Amino acid sequence: MALDAISLPDVSGLTVGILGGTGDQGRGLAYRLARAGQRIVIGSRSAERASAAAAEIAALAGEPADVTGADNAAVAAESDIVIVAVPWDGHGDLLASLREPLTGKLVVDCVNPLGFDKHGPYALRVPEGSAAEQAAALLPDSTVCAAFHHVSAALLADPEVAEMQLDVLVLGEEREKVAVVQALANRIPGMRGVYAGRLRNAHQVEAFTANLIAINKRYKSHAGIRVTDV
Amino acid sequence: MALDAISLPDVSGLTVGILGGTGDQGRGLAYRLARAGQRIVIGSRSAERASAAAAEIAALAGEPADVTGADNAAVAAESDIVIVAVPWDGHGDLLASLREPLTGKLVVDCVNPLGFDKHGPYALRVPEGSAAEQAAALLPDSTVCAAFHHVSAALLADPEVAEMQLDVLVLGEEREKVAVVQALANRIPGMRGVYAGRLRNAHQVEAFTANLIAINKRYKSHAGIRVTDV
């Protein structure tokens, strides 16, 4: 069935927590979703830093943005959907420590395991296959999806950008949960959530961020992707 | 610099050989490029089968299409650009056998190493990292680029499709050779060749074909990608 003919759930009442919400990607997603009217809770190791970032994001997003901050464990417990936007270093340790508060939650991993050297970025080997599969292995009592890998943090955070003209690839095992993540992406004007396969095919989606960085360097762009013919 | 401001070489006079030109992907690329006026040589293990496929493609593309067939070694020797569109099984053996006729040639690998099981497609581990890197390792006297992974064979082969509205990601080490491959992609109406990184980042581009197959299954589409903001 064509993408635009598939009805998605109403997610406007859900609270979205963002682990690593003080980093560039997490902060940008928080801003865009808050601006779209989503209730956001920013997570960080430090509740104080989380609250400070939340206040900044709320001010930027304007009324009636609902953005608060808390430490990562409190965010996990308080949220319906938990976006993981932490650096790859420490990804596994953080999620392992949050197994209990993340029980029953929808966890959306958007982490890209990349290395950098003088030739630029490259994909790191992940023993579990991908960051998303690592999350799924560490969180057997949560549902893990993968999404939001390719959205430019610079564009997300730029108040002058009214629409994000790109697609968010959503990967996961459970169709209903994938639909929730697609609906969340659709909350951001211009953005479409597109199902793009099971978690075992998440590695290449994460790694493709290295190609986007190469594209950005060559063309001075903030590249993303659109899926054609859907 | 913006993509459309970069001048690319004129490739209209070059002969393009297609190894595996009797398969779906090779045949589709041959048809599109012949229709755009490119001189094409179809390669196959059997010169007879190659010539038969060439005659069919020439008839489909109409006058003044220039399509002939030959065995793979003759195609390698005769062509300026050699597209590798063979099945992953046998990819390495074929290229190793063609090292000599491919000396000095621009080799464009579009092979996707995928496996299939009851859950659909998945990326295969390639010891060299990717099909393209395997080609580069086996062909030290050629220049290897990677491209044309995501173009739907069904759309390529459909005479009713006037324009292919998608981007071709081109990977490679040498900027001038990458530009030749971009220019070749640009010969097909609607298609853009976009530089997307070095060969060490080819794996995820090849593997992403598994995601496109998942997208096609879900949305009954012939999906490709457009890179946004370039």
Give yes or no for residue A209 having a pLDDT over 80.
Answer: yes
Cross-chain Cβ contact B196/A204 below 8 Å: no
Q: Nearest chain A residue to B6 by CA: give it.
A: A219
Which amino acid appears at position B63 of this protein? E
Cross-chain Cβ contact B207/A210 below 8 Å: no
Cross-chain Cβ contact A203/B200 below 8 Å: no
Query: Out of A123, A197, A219, whose CB is closest to B203?
Result: A123
Give yes or no for residue A1 having a pLDDT over 90.
Answer: no
Residue length, chain A? 230
Residue B87 in 3-state DSSP? coil
Q: What is the pLDDT of residues A143-190, one digit of tens each?
A: 999 999 999 999 999 999 999 999 999 999 999 999 999 999 999 999
pTM of the model: 0.96
Query: Out of A123, A166, A218, whose CB is closest to B201?
Result: A123
B5 touches chain A (CB under 8 A): no
Q: Nearest chain B residue to A124 by CA: give it.
A: B201
Query: Out of B211, B222, B229, whose CB is closest to A205?
Result: B211
pLDDT at A3: 83
pLDDT at A64: 83
Cross-chain Cβ contact B197/A211 below 8 Å: yes
Q: Which of A125, A155, A229 to mutate to test the interface with B (most CBs of B within 10 A)?
A: A229
Cross-chain Cβ contact B205/A208 below 8 Å: yes
Backbone φ and ψ for B226, nearest 5 degrees, come out as -115, 135
Cross-chain Cβ contact B121/A201 below 8 Å: yes
State the number of CA atoms in the 13 A half-sphere of A79 facing the CB.
32
Q: Rounded CA gap, B40 and B82, in Å?
A: 10
Cross-chain Cβ contact B226/A223 below 8 Å: no
Give yes or no for residue A10 having a pLDDT over 80.
Answer: yes
Q: Are A207 and B203 in contact (CB under 8 A)?
A: yes
Q: Are A129 and A137 in contact (CB under 8 A)?
A: no
Q: Nearest chain B residue to A169 by CA: give it.
A: B211
Query: What are the chain A neighbours of B116 within 8 Å (beta carbons)?
Result: none
Q: Which of B6, B218, B222 to mutate to test the interface with A (most CBs of A within 10 A)?
A: B218
Query: Out of B201, B219, B228, whose CB is closest to A210?
Result: B201
Query: Out of A205, A210, A227, whose CB is closest to B223?
Result: A227
As a whole number, the mean pLDDT across chain B is: 96
As a whole number, the mean pLDDT across chain A is: 96
pLDDT at A6: 77
Q: Nearest chain A residue to B200 by CA: give it.
A: A122
C-alpha torsion sign, points A139, A145, A150, A155 = negative
Q: Which of B1, B206, B211 to mutate to test the interface with A (most CBs of A within 10 A)?
A: B211
CA-closest candidate to residue A221, choices B214, B4, B106, B40:
B4
The DSSP 8-state label assigned to residue A125 in this structure reads: P
pLDDT at B181: 98
The DSSP 8-state label assigned to residue B88 in this structure reads: S
Which amino acid appears at position B161 of this protein? V
Sorting pLDDT into bands at 50, 70 and 90, what band is B125?
Answer: very high
Average pLDDT over every residue of A225-230:
97
Sorting pLDDT into bands at 50, 70 and 90, what band is A63?
Answer: confident
Query: Out of B1, B3, B226, whose CB is closest to A226?
Result: B226
Q: Rounded CA gap, A130 and A201, in Å?
A: 8
Cross-chain Cβ contact B226/A230 below 8 Å: no
Give yes or no for residue B1 having a pLDDT over 80.
Answer: no
Query: Out of B2, B122, B224, whose CB is closest to A200?
Result: B122
Sorting pLDDT into bands at 50, 70 and 90, what band is A102?
Answer: very high
Q: Rounded CA gap, A127 and A110, in Å?
A: 17
Query: What are the chain A neighbours of B224 within 8 Å (beta carbons)?
Result: 227-229
- Which two structure tokens, joined as six digits, stand for A224? 């993303």
Q: How many CB pairs under 8 A join A and B?
A: 135
